[in-house]
Amino acid sequence: MKPMITPLKTGVAYHSNRILKSVQEDMIDCVNHNMNLVVHMYTHNDMDRHKYVMKDIISITEDLGLECWVDNWGLGGPPGEKSHFLAYHPEAHQYFSNGDMDPVHACYNAPSFVAFSKTWVDHVAEAGGKTLFWDEPHLLGKSINGKMEYTCRCETCQKVFEERYNRPMPRDFDADCMEFRTWSIIHYFRTVTDYAASLGLKNTTCVMLNPIFGISLDNLDQLGTLPHLDSLGSDPYWIGANPENVYQFVYEKTRTNLEMADTYQKDHNLWIQGYNIPAGREDEIIYATDAAYDAGARTIINWSFRGGESNNYRCDKPEVAWRVIGESMARIRNRHNDEVRRLSMELRSK
C-alpha cells in the first residue's frame, strides 16, 4: 500500500493593501518567501468599496499558484477592524453582565449579525473565494474589582438563556453561563458554516489560547462537532505568554490541536507569530515553526506579511522578521521534500 504523505501548506496573512499592482508584487514576494497559501482579509469596507477589487486579488493570488483563504476580518469586531456593521444594527452589540455595552463587538446570537454574516459569505463566493477563514471567534470577559464581567448578556442572550436553562440569566458568572457562551459560538458557526457549505465553500477556523473567550484551545473539540467546519486551528503566540521555552510551548499546543482535529477527522491549521517580535528575537520564529512541524502540523501559517509592517503591532525590525519568516518556511519545506524522497526510495526498494 502506498504510504500517504500529507501535502505541506506554508502560508501567511496579508492585508491593508488594495492596489492591484502592489498586490501582484507582494504575492510574488510571498512565493519567493516559500509560501504556497495566502490568507486575505475581506472586510465590511471591502464589501462596500472593493467588491470587484477583491475578486481581482483572489484571481492574482491563485494565478500565481497560491491557495487563497478569505478572512472575516473585523466583521463582528476585533481582532481586526472595529465592527462597521454595528453602526447599522446597534441592537446587536455585545453587552457585559454589568450592563455595559461593548462598542465594537457584535453578539453571536443577534439575528441581524447572523444574516449579515451570510451576506458576507455571498460576497466571498461571488469574488471566487473557495475557503473561508473564521478568525479567532470569541466573547469578551474582563475583571472589574476582582469580579468577572462577561459577555454576552444582551436582551437576546437573556431570552435565549432562559429558554435553554429555565431560569433568568444571572449577572454573576457560573457554570451555566460558561456553557451558554460556548453554545452561542458553536450555534452561530453551525449556521454560517452550513450556509457556506451550501454554496460550495470550505470552512476553517483558528481559536486563541485563553479560555476567557468562551472558545479556546481548551475546548476546540466542540467546534469539531460541526459537520461543515473542515479545519480546526489555533495560534500559540508566545510573546505575551512568556514561556520558558518557545519550541516546547508551540510543540505542546500544536500536539493538543492536532489530537482534537484528528478525533473529529478534521484538517488543522497552526499559526506562527510573525508580529510584535522584539529586535534580536527573530530566530524564535524559526524555533516555533520547527516545533509546529515536528509536532505533526502540515498547514503552518504566519501572521503576518512582512512582519506586520503596516500595523502598529509590527515587529521591531520587520525586514529582518520577514527574512526569517521566509527562512523558517524554507526549512520545513526542505525537510518535507526530503521525507517525500525518502519514502519514494523505500517504495522503489520493495
Distance CA 242, CA 98 (A): 32
pLDDT at 315 over 80: yes
Query: Max Cα separation, the chain?
Result: 70
% of the chain at pLDDT higher than 90: 92
pLDDT in tens, 30-85: 999 999 999 999 999 999 999 999 999 999 999 999 999 999 999 999 988 899 99
Q: Please, what is the average pLDDT of the chain?
A: 97
In the chain, at which residue ranges do the beta strands (DSSP E only) sit? 9-14, 37-41, 67-71, 93-95, 101-106, 131-135, 141-144, 147-150, 202-207, 231-234, 267-273, 299-303
C-alpha cell recorded at residue 185: 459560538
Specify the pLDDT at position 146.
Answer: 77
Closest to 303 (Cα-Cα) out of 230, 238, 231, 213 = 238
Helix (H, G, I), strand (E, B) or coil at 303: strand
Specify the pLDDT at position 115.
Answer: 99
All domains of the chain in start order, with CATH:
9-90+107-137+187-349 (3.20.20.80)
Specify the pLDDT at position 296.
Answer: 98
Closest to 331 (Cα-Cα) out of 282, 301, 280, 286 = 286
pLDDT at 1 over 50: no
pLDDT at 186 over 90: yes
pLDDT in tens, 112-168: 999 999 999 999 999 999 999 999 999 999 887 778 899 999 999 999 999 999 999
In this structure, the dihedral spanned by the alpha carbons of residues 64, 67, 68 and 71, taken in order and rounded to 10 degrees, is: -140
pLDDT in tens, 257-302: 999 999 999 999 999 999 999 999 999 999 999 999 999 999 999 9
